[in-house]
């Protein structure tokens, strides 16, 4: 099933969803990734310096990983194509204009935006306003 590529449809139908819980980014040496899978990361990415894990805050806390900054995850509940043009730029601009940093993970079906926990409500408002503005003719 292919995703939506039309930017107007993506923005008007993106339905931002604030996911329950807080998350943190941590890093471990690539050679120890298998030792950390039991922490159930919601994402990981291999870089030259190590593997970045996106972990639930409590899992990171229990293992002694640094827990700052705590992030909230906003999932855009629209099936965006990996080839869609402009979606990331549009929501990054809206969040940037609101003074909110964003870390984005694009997965097969959805985009997931990690924002500082203290800014989650403002981020939701900015994304909802962006979507509503696009839906208005």
46 to 51, 53, 61: CA distances (angstroms): 4, 9, 22
3-state helix, strand, coil in the chain (%, to 5): 40, 30, 35
pLDDT per residue rounded down to tens, the chain (137 residues): 678 887 778 888 789 999 999 999 999 999 999 999 999 999 999 999 999 999 999 999 999 888 779 999 999 988 888 888 888 999 999 999 999 999 999 988 889 999 999 999 999 999 999 988 886 66
54 three-state secondary structure = strand
- Residue 87: what pLDDT? 87
Which pLDDT score, from 0 to 100, does residue 92 have?
94
Residue with tokens 């924002």: 115
Close Cβ partners of 120 (under 8 Å, ≥ 6 residues apart):
18, 72, 74
Tell me the whole-structure pTM to 2 decimals.
0.90
Sign of the torsion angle spanned by Cα atoms 114, 88, 41, 49: negative
Q: What is the pLDDT of residue 2?
A: 77
């Amino acid at each position: 099933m292919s995703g939506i590529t039309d930017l107007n449809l993506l923005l008007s139908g993106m339905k931002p969803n604030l996911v329950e819980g807080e998350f943190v980014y941590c890093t471990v040496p690539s050679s120890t990734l298998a030792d950390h899978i039991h922490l159930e990361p919601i994402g990981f990415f291999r870089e030259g310096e190590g593997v970045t894990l996106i972990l639930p805050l409590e899992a990171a806390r229990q293992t002694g990983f640094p827990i700052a900054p705590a992030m909230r995850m906003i999932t855009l509940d629209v099936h965006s194509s990996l080839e869609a043009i402009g979606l990331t730029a549009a929501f990054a601009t809206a969040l940037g204009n609101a003074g909110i940093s964003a870390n984005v993970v694009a997965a097969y079906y959805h985009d997931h935006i990690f924002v500082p926990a203290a800014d989650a409500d403002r981020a939701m408002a900015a994304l909802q306003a962006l979507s509503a503005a696009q839906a208005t003719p």
